[in-house]
Amino acid sequence: MDQKKIVIICDCFVNFQATAPFLSMAQYGAQVAQVDDPTMQTTDTLFTIMKKTEEEGADACEASPQAMEAVKDADILVVHMCPVNRKLLDNAPKLKNVFVLRGGCNNVDLALCKERGIVVTNSNGRSSPAVADYTVGMILSAGRNIAFGHHNIKEGRWVKDYPNKDYCLNLRDQTVGIVGIGSIGGMVAERLRGFGCRILAYDPFFGPEEVAKRGAEPRELDDLLRESDFVTVHLRHSEKTDGFFGAEQFALMKLTAVFINTARPGLVDEEALIAALKDGKIGGAALDVFGTEPLPADSPFLDLDNVVLTPHIAGQSNGTSSFAVEIAVQNVKRLLTGESLINIMNP
């Protein structure tokens, strides 16, 4: 059998050290080459690529000259954010497999890969633990005034009373509604059970029995919104879920409810959310994602005192990159040893 060449395009998030476990694939007869991409050495660059490819597809960004050169003799390509588009694929005549070190594959032209017989797999669930942990942190931060208290002390104010003082309760006395109870939503439910709170869930892709298996009480969306003290969204962003939360949904929520979004900004009509926060239609929000990032200096969110804001860091954890590599290494091993692949994105 011909020796397979594995080419890994590294960046600031999945660097040489993080991708070192792929070197163990040499024991299965593979040649492994790590290539550092100098154009992807800041998190801002990576987020720009992620956003552009999510909105416009893999052709919205170009691969670096280093990546273009490296793929010429690659049988197997491992990427994180590197665009795998027509231009790169035309430069990779031997390529048969692409392993993506993230859940989304927007930086890969899946249809063209399928047309050319190239199998694409992802690292499904790589950031799920990190985002689930962060979501619980956002619930606590907003619900118990942690962020607001910190901000006031930094500004020289010793504030003990907050707008939610009459309904600032222990989590065991609150109801959390999870919209989208897949990998991340399921982990959020698992973590919240330790606090003893009531957990409701709605998922457009799961029936009541499947929702119950994930540790939540099944609810229709409208009922969940009416009953929950916290509403946290964990849906994938697609044409079907674009603008999933708008004025109608916020109007159904309790006046004291807190809305959490650590998923994708496109799931939410930001203007409707801002209006709901300004008009007191909901109690507050905790947001890690925004339609425009970085958040502009004139963003209305910055004028609101009932919002916790963070700069799209829910998935940023050293554990995220190492888990992504772990998932992909096991899948590459399956390929090299003749086993069936998992997480195929273009069947």
Residues 300-324 have a mean pLDDT of 94
pLDDT (average), residues 63-69: 97
In single-letter form, the type of residue at position 266 comes to G
CATH 3.40.50.720 domain locations along the chain: 5-126+317-336, 128-309
The answer on pLDDT for 236 being more than 60 is yes
Q: What is the pLDDT of residue 166?
A: 87
* pLDDT beyond 70 at 275: yes
C-alpha R_g of the chain: 22
pTM: 0.83
From the list 227, 237, 264, 270, the catalytic residue is: 264
Identify the pLDDT of residue 51.
85
Average pLDDT score over the chain:
96
| pLDDT at residue 91 in the model | 98
Check pLDDT > 60 for residue 60: yes
Question: Is 312 an active-site residue?
Answer: yes
Tell which wins on pLDDT, 319 or 181.
Answer: 181
25-48 pLDDT per residue, tens? 999 999 999 999 999 999 889 988
**Picking from 9-13, 52-56, 328-332, which range would have the lowest pLDDT averaged per residue?**
52-56
Closest CA to 241 of 259, 223, 266, 261: 266
Tens of pLDDT, residues 278-301: 999 999 999 999 999 999 999 999
Q: Are 232 and 260 in contact (CB under 8 A)?
A: yes
For residue 224, name the pLDDT band (cuts at 50, 70, 90): very high
* pLDDT tops 70 at residue 277: yes
Give the CATH H-level superfamily of domain 128-309. Answer: NAD(P)-binding Rossmann-like Domain (3.40.50.720)
Peptide bond connecting 294 to the previous residue in cis, omega within 30 degrees of 0: yes
Residue 318 confidence (pLDDT): 82
270 is catalytic: no
Residue 214 among the catalytic residues = no
Q: Could you please report the per-residue DSSP string of 148-167? A: HHHHHHHTT------TTTTS
**Which residues, including other chains, have CB under 8 Å from residue 59's CB and lie 6 or more apart?**
83, 85, 86, 87, 109
Q: Which of 312, 326, 334, 339 is catalytic?
A: 312
Q: What is the pLDDT at residue 54? A: 85
Who wins on pLDDT, 145 or 318? 145
Catalytic choice (151, 293, 326, 334): 293
Q: For position 96, what pLDDT does the model report?
A: 98
**Helix, strand, coil shares of the chain as percentages rounded to 5?**
40, 15, 45
Per-residue pLDDT tens over the stretch 239-250: 899 999 999 999
**What's the topology of domain 5-126+317-336?**
Rossmann fold (3.40.50)
Q: What is the per-residue pLDDT for 1?
A: 56
